[in-house]
């Protein structure tokens, strides 16, 4: 069990080597031989002859972690002191509990209550989905992990520790609950607003019984701790919720983790174990008294090198409470496989920062603040954001309207070339003349006033520029119409803007009907009237300010009816690209002058650097709104700190240098099987392949990701392997469709509506060798096709590459159990995911079971004659009676009163009630098959099956409950029952507000191995939920508030 070693040292270097070996050398222990404890005496320079320790000597007690937890230290100190002072260890074999006794006792404990608690607590929880922490790299599979980690620690400090300890004490709150609540707030913010957080809670002291507190052993356990928080809760509301879930979880913490995991067999990777939290309270004694001797800690420092830190999980956060010093500290461990060292340090700084915010709220008694308003943005990062938006500059000219600036340029350069097209050109002076002629005509003849919308539909020409400036100088609002649009579209735009006038020239005047007022620009300019001083005075009297609307422009309308936007911004941010810039990840830069950019999350709070958020743009370029669409304007323009910002719908991040990076569109961010996926990230990954010129990824029917790739020199296998190397599994498209050219709409954008739908068989049928080799492969191929919605799936391709989901896999497993072999488990399916692999795995198991059945058949052959045989007479009479009772009511109604045919279902249903009252067998145990009691049940079961056609119309209603009551069942009228698969309705007892899904089997009948049968009642309590395809066997006595998962048996 233990070993005692004596060594010497002379220098600190030698001592450090000894300590390092003691801490890191796993070969010092041998579990197979029971060597789990070492006592190491380290003498300075020479071993003492009398074995007494002196100054600079060290004593090390080293325990294997498999039998020694943290609280065992106090027990060991107590027992060591007792043995040292008395010369013996007092122990009563009859009353004292040993660690081995505890293990036996735990195996004998009833786990039913704990099992139901954990099943309910983790209902609908996505245990296989990793929380979106700020990873630097995607998580590797276990076989590729190095196990290297990094650790960052800090002390709360005197003030922070005092604030939290005082708050916990004054409000009678457990310090553990307080720190857990802080952790959940921090993770909610760090994961960009995840509200369903499930973590691994490390329980270091799981001594839930008093007699366990004096035992040395490993009483640790890991249990899930699930917190479903509301972002609008204040800290106290969250703290109350955390108290409840932690107390309940600790109550059933003795339930082994493996049994919790076994409750979810369809999950192959339990991602919640990758993120853990723990709270440890300890007494940091500087000395330990062993009899009259005093042991003090060694005066040496043992530094663990960075490359020696190990990390079994992705991320863990531990809070330590030093009871003696009344101080709190924190340690964050992170895996270097997915985090960089500086990222772990940044996370630590953010946690420290949120601690200060919560401390300030505690001190100032401002705990009603919603938790989503707490910020993880560090002071230096906030300064960086402010610096990014420090774009204010003053214009050199006091003129602020475009036509004013135009006149100013005419005064400066009257003879310089202003506009040129092919062989035509105008100087500034000539252009001003034509603009003034047009403006005066608009004022004098068409009575245009400031704010009047004037449309212009002309081809590319000098007249277009004249028209734009003429409308602006007259104070009108310019609206451009394209001559290439169809006539009905042009008329719709005119009607929407309520324009009274359209400027045209001879090429475009035929596009409009006679009911629209047109003005030919060429005809107006051809008049060539002399402009008088009065005309100049009139033009100068027109008041136009920067607050006036300059023009209206219509969007492309690719998502519906075009919307009239009153401002267009060509560019909002810029980035200077250097020759050495990495072209794979060019940022969109920083705001241009007098613009501001903010990255806002879904709770209208600023996102931290490197965290996705929606881009909001403010400044002088913000438009006035959508024309006559106040609803759209309210959605697009948001007031932040008294300034209007445009909600772009673009997802961006800001890096540590203050540069913006485009991540995709908000409306292209999807959720697939509970995972949030940014489609733009998959597209960027595919575009890194040199042979791909364009691509688009779409979600197909809420189940699959489909990637459309524009390339002529790539195949599906290359695409899949590239994605598998750079993306996590949930982001790998199920289908790759390679096209020579992606379809485009008239605006040059990818036309998603005309992308071809995925052909579920195209990626399989065209491959060689897709022919099943035997009947078993043919059966499995048919099942895969039905479960994964694919016609003739390839026999050698895993179902994951065929677009299969975990729910589809469960359906496939159910069909395999029904049609091929009922003992196939989920592990066999996931380890053999293709048709051929699964067939090769199942075939020997089927052969082995067939041999066993053959042997058992030979052994039982001679016993069968001792039991009753089927009665041909009774069965024939029963069939005749069934036919007669079914047809008799039809014949009577047809002969005497055809008008009563609508009550035919009632007659058939009443027959069953009468027969069940007369001959229904009650609780029967071990009666022979084919006995009289069996045929009584047999007849009623056939009669019930005949009536299911009528019963399906009243399922889930109180009428169905009334009918079951008449059949002898004890059913609450408020129950919701959707199944007719019931062996013996008169043996049912169903409580209030219980919900039973369709295709649920209520099996009161049970066949024994000795050719007997039994009928048992089924009792289901109140507020229970029985999911689809579940089976409840006779004898079930279900308590209240029980949830049965889909495809479960009870």
Transcribe 376-432 into DSSP letters.
Answer: ---HHHHHHHHHHT------SSS--SHHHHHHHHHHH-TTSEEEEETTEEEEHHHHH
Q: What is the pLDDT of residue 153?
A: 92
Q: Quickly count: other Cβ atoms within 10 Å of residue 422's Cβ.
A: 8
- In a domain, residue 75? The reply is no
Q: What token pair was written down for 316?
A: 């863990």
- In a domain, residue 463? The reply is yes
Residue 855, Cβ density class (10 Å: 0-12 exposed, 13-18 middle, ≥19 buried): exposed
- Domain shared by 817 and 901, yes or no: no
Task: Tell me 518's DSSP state.
Answer: E
- SS3 at position 293: strand
Q: What is the pLDDT of residue 763?
A: 47
- In a domain, residue 559? The reply is no
Contact 503, 454 (CB under 8 A): yes
Domain boundary residue, one of 667, 700, 724: 667
- Largest alpha-carbon pair distance within the chain? 127
Q: Domain limits at 51?
A: 2-64
Transcribe 480-502 into DSSP letters.
Answer: E--TTS-HHHHHHHHHHHT-SEE
Q: What CATH number is associated with residue 450?
A: 3.40.50.980
Contact 55, 299 (CB under 8 A): no
Q: Quickly count: other Cβ atoms within 10 Å of residue 705's Cβ.
A: 23
d(CA 686, CA 696): 9
The residue with tokens 């079930």 is 1036
d(CA 390, CA 812): 59
- Domain shared by 655 and 697, yes or no: no
- Domain shared by 206 and 353, yes or no: yes
d(CA 59, CA 52): 11
Contact 1003, 1033 (CB under 8 A): yes
- In a domain, residue 236? The reply is yes
- In a domain, residue 106? The reply is no
Domain boundary residue, one of 701, 726, 758: 758
Q: What CATH number is associated with residue 606?
A: 2.30.38.10
Transcribe 154-186 into DSSP letters.
Answer: EE-HHHHHHHHHHHHHHTT--HHHHHHHHHHHH
d(CA 521, CA 326): 86
d(CA 883, CA 878): 9
Q: Which residue ranges in the chain fall short of pLDDT 50? A: 301-302, 558-560, 566-568, 763-768, 858, 861-866
d(CA 400, CA 412): 17
d(CA 1013, CA 921): 12
Going by C-beta distance under 8 Å and a sequence separation of 6 or more, which residues neighbour residue 292? none
d(CA 660, CA 654): 5
- In a domain, residue 729? The reply is yes
- SS3 at position 1042: coil
Q: What CATH number is associated with residue 751?
A: 3.30.300.30
Question: Cα–Cα distances in Å, from 79 out to 73, 149, 284, 358, 607?
Answer: 10, 36, 19, 43, 54
- Domain shared by 882 and 841, yes or no: no
- In a domain, residue 34? The reply is yes
d(CA 254, CA 252): 5
Question: Cα–Cα distances in Å, from 856 out to 263, 821, 845, 863, 865?
Answer: 33, 18, 17, 11, 16
- Domain shared by 239 and 329, yes or no: yes
- Domain shared by 267 and 224, yes or no: yes
- Domain shared by 588 and 711, yes or no: no
Domain boundary residue, one of 738, 758, 778: 758
- Domain shared by 226 and 360, yes or no: yes
Q: What CATH number is associated with residue 235?
A: 3.30.559.30
Domain count across the chain: 7
Q: What is the pLDDT of residue 311?
A: 67
d(CA 659, CA 384): 10
> Which H/E stretch holds residue 121?
helix 112-121
- Domain shared by 752 and 767, yes or no: no
d(CA 1038, CA 1020): 5
- Domain shared by 856 and 895, yes or no: no
Q: Quickly count: other Cβ atoms within 10 Å of residue 785's Cβ.
A: 19
Nearest alpha carbon to residue 979 among 910, 1027, 908, 917 = 1027
Radius of gyration, alpha carbons of the chain: 40
The residue with tokens 């307080």 is 178
- In a domain, residue 841? The reply is yes
- Domain shared by 276 and 325, yes or no: yes
pTM to 2 decimal places: 0.64
d(CA 969, CA 308): 67
Q: In what order do the strands lie in the sheet with 1025-1026?
A: 976-977, 995-996, 1025-1026, 1043-1044
Q: What is the pLDDT of residue 581?
A: 59
d(CA 506, CA 975): 77
Q: What CATH number is associated with residue 861?
A: 1.10.1200.10
- Domain shared by 1032 and 969, yes or no: yes
């Amino acid at each position: 069990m233990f070993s005692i070693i004596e060594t010497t040292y002379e220098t600190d270097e030698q001592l450090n080597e000894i300590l390092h070996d003691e801490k890191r050398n796993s070969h010092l222990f041998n579990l197979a031989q029971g060597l789990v404890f070492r006592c190491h005496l380290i003498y300075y320079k020479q071993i003492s002859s009398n074995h007494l320790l002196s100054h600079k000597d060290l004593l090390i007690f080293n325990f294997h972690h498999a039998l020694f937890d943290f609280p065992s230290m106090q027990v060991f100190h107590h027992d060591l002191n007792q043995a040292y002072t008395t010369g013996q260890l007092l122990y009563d074999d009859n009353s004292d509990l040993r660690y081995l006794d505890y293990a036996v006792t735990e195996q004998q404990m009833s786990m039913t209550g704990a099992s139901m608690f954990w099943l309910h607590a983790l209902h609908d929880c996505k245990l296989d989905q990793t929380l979106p922490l700020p990873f630097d790299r995607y998580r590797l599979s276990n076989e590729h992990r190095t196990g290297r980690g990094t650790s960052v620690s800090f002390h709360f400090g005197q003030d922070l520790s005092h604030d939290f300890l005082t708050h916990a004490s004054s409000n009678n709150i457990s310090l553990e609950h307080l720190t857990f609540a802080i952790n959940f707030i921090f993770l909610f913010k760090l994961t960009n607003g995840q509200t369903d957080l499930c973590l691994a809670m490390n329980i270091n002291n799981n001594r839930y019984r008093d007699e366990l507190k004096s035992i040395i052993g490993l009483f640790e356990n890991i249990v899930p701790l699930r917190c479903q928080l509301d972002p609008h809760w204040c800290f106290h509301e969250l703290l109350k919720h955390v108290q409840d879930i932690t107390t309940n979880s600790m109550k059933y913490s003795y339930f082994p983790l493996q049994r919790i995991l076994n409750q979810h067999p369809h999950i192959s990777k339990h991602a919640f174990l990758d993120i853990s939290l723990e709270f440890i309270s300890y007494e940091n004694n500087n000395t330990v008294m062993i009899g009259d001797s005093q042991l003090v800690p060694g005066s040496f420092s043992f530094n663990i090198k960075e490359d020696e830190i190990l990390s079994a999980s992705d991320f863990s956060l531990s809070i330590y409470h030093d009871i003696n010093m009344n101080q709190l500290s924190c340690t964050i461990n992170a895996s270097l496989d997915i985090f960089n060292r500086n990222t772990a340090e940044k996370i630590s700084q953010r946690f420290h920062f949120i601690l200060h915010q919560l401390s300030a709220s505690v001190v100032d008694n401002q705990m009603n603040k919603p938790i989503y308003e707490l910020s993880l943005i560090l002071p230096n990062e906030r300064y960086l954001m402010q610096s990014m938006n420090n774009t204010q500059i003053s214009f050199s000219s006091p003129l602020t309207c475009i036509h004013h600036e135009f006149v100013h340029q005419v005064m400066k350069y009257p003879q310089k070339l202003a506009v040129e097209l092919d062989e035509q050109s105008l100087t500034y002076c000539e252009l001003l003349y034509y603009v003034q002629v047009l403006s005066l005509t608009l004022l004098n003849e068409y009575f245009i006033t400031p704010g009047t919308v004037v449309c212009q539909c002309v081809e590319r020409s000098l007249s277009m520029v004249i028209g734009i400036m003429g409308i602006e100088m007259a104070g009108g609002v310019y609206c451009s119409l394209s001559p290439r649009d169809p006539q009905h579209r042009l008329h719709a735009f005119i009607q929407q803007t309520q324009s009274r006038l359209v400027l045209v020239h001879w090429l475009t005047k035929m596009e409009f009907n006679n009911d629209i007022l047109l003005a030919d620009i060429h005809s107006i300019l051809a008049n060539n009237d002399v402009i008088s001083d009065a005309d100049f005075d009139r033009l100068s009297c027109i008041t136009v300010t920067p607050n006036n609307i300059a023009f209206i422009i219509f969007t492309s309308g690719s998502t519906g009816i075009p919307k009239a936007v009153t401002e267009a911004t060509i560019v909002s941010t810029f980035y200077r690209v250097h020759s050495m810039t990495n072209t794979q990840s060019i940022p969109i830069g920083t705001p241009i002058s007098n613009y501001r950019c903010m990255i806002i999350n879904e709770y209208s709070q600023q996102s931290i650097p490197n965290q996705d958020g929606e881009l909001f743009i403010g400044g002088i370029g913000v438009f006035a709104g959508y024309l006559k669409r106040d609803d759209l304007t309210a959605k697009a323009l948001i007031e932040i700190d008294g300034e209007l910002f445009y909600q772009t719908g673009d997802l961006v991040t800001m890096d540590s240098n203050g540069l913006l990076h485009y991540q995709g569109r908000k409306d292209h961010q999807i959720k697939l099987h509970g995972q949030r996926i940014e489609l733009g990230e998959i597209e960027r990954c595919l575009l890194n392949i040199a042979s791909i010129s364009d691509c688009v990824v779409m979600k197909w029917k809420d189940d699959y990701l489909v990637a459309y790739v524009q390339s002529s020199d790539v195949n599906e296998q290359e695409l899949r392997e590239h994605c598998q190397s750079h993306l996590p599994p949930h982001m790998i498209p199920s289908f790759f469709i390679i096209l020579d050219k992606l379809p485009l709409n008239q605006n040059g954008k990818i036309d998603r509506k005309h992308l071809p739908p995925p052909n579920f068989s195209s990626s399989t049928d065209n491959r060689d060798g897709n022919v099943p080799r035997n009947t078993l492969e043919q059966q499995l191929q048919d099942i895969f096709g039905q479960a994964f919605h694919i016609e003739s799936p390839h026999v050698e391709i895993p179902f994951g590459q065929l677009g299969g989901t975990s729910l589809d896999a469960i359906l496939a497993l159910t069909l395999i159990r029904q049609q091929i072999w009922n003992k196939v488990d989920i592990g066999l399916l996931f380890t053999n995911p293709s048709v051929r692999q699964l067939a090769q795995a199942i075939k020997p198991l089927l052969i082995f079971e067939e041999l066993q059945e053959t042997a058992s058949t030979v052994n039982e052959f001679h016993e069968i004659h001792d039991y009753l045989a089927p009665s041909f007479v009774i069965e024939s009479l029963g069939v005749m009676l069934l036919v007669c009772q079914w047809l008799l009511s039809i014949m009577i109604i047809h002969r005497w009163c055809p008008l009563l045919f609508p009550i035919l279902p009632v007659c058939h249903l009443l027959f069953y009630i009468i027969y069940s009252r007369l001959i229904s067998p009650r609780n029967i145990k071990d009666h022979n098959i084919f006995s009289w009691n069996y045929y009584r049940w047999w007849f009623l079961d056939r009669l019930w099956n005949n009536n299911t056609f009528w019963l399906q119309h009243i399922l889930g209603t109180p009428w169905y409950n009334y009918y079951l009551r008449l059949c002898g069942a004890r059913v609450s009228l408020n129950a919701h029952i959707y199944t007719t698969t019931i062996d013996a309705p008169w043996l049912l007892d169903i409580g209030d507000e219980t919900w039973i899904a369709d295709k649920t089997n209520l099996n009161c009948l049970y066949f024994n191995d000795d050719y007997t049968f039994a009928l048992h009642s089924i009792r289901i309590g109140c507020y229970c939920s029985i999911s689809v395809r579940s089976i409840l066997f006779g004898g079930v006595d279900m308590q209240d508030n029980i949830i049965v998962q889909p495809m479960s048996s009870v």
